[in-house]
Chains A and B, each alone.
Chain A
């Protein structure tokens, strides 16, 4: 059982690596935002898995719930900034 959990953690970390590439190379701002959001979702699962690995799932699930909330609010905040720039007709893509 712990081996399966540890394997799941490793697989999720590999997925985060793939997403990090998307965050770095882009090419569009929206790609980066969605990638960061998915990394946040993976973090939630990671927290739950670590909770089971540590033997205290209830404790870590609370933290995972809070993280899900903050992740949602943070993504909305970043996208509002993006929307504002689109409205004002400013360049939305990061220059180099």
Chain B
């Protein structure tokens, strides 16, 4: 597990004008001890990509869930303490495990609440997708926008036709 007590950022060298092999080794060492940040950023970017780039609304919701899971992972991993056990009361400790500490329970509780909120958000999002599918007959964002545009064009064309008809009527009188 990553060293929870280590520095958050790689230490800045005294002469950092030209990044030499030493600075590179620093970054590598930081990645080796804080790989949870790397995984979290990777997962989050995958989720963000799905939210932004996918056309299917259901896939967007899945991307949102992935993004959320990345945040859960981040919070839980920063609550980890080397050699500690899960923050649930441990009564029947075997001999030799009397002094094992608990991990930080605050991120766990926070993420429990976040999971519940996330389920509600997913439910609302899926309900909206269901209504959109009923109204438009599709869950593809491009098709929905095209359908909206076509409707707007049809409306403006109708309004123009009405105006032209009114003008023609005025000219006759």
A interface majority secondary structure:
helix
Task: For the complex, give the distance between the alpha carbons of A88 and B90 in Å.
Answer: 53
A72 contacts across to B, CB distance below 8 A: none
Interface size bracket, A side: under 10
B86 contacts across to A, CB distance below 8 A: 54, 56, 59
Chain B residues bordering chain A, tally (CB within 8 A): 7
Q: What's the count of A-B pairs with C-beta under 8 Å? A: 12
| B94 contacts chain A at the CB level, 8 A cutoff | yes
* Closest chain A residue, CB of each to CB of B96: A55
Task: For the complex, give the distance between the alpha carbons of A56 and B90 in Å.
Answer: 8
Q: Mark A47-70, 1 if CB is under 8 A from B, else 0.
A: 000000011101100000000000
| B85 contacts chain A at the CB level, 8 A cutoff | yes
B85 contacts across to A, CB distance below 8 A: 54-56
Residues of A within 8 A of B (CB): 54-56, 58-59
Q: List 12 A-B contacts (CB under 8 A).
A: A54-B85, A54-B86, A55-B85, A55-B94, A55-B97, A56-B85, A56-B86, A56-B90, A58-B92, A59-B86, A59-B88, A59-B90
Residues of B within 8 A of A (CB): 85-86, 88, 90, 92, 94, 97
Given A55-B85, A55-B94, A59-B88, 9 more pairs with CB closer than 8 A = A54-B85, A54-B86, A55-B97, A56-B85, A56-B86, A56-B90, A58-B92, A59-B86, A59-B90
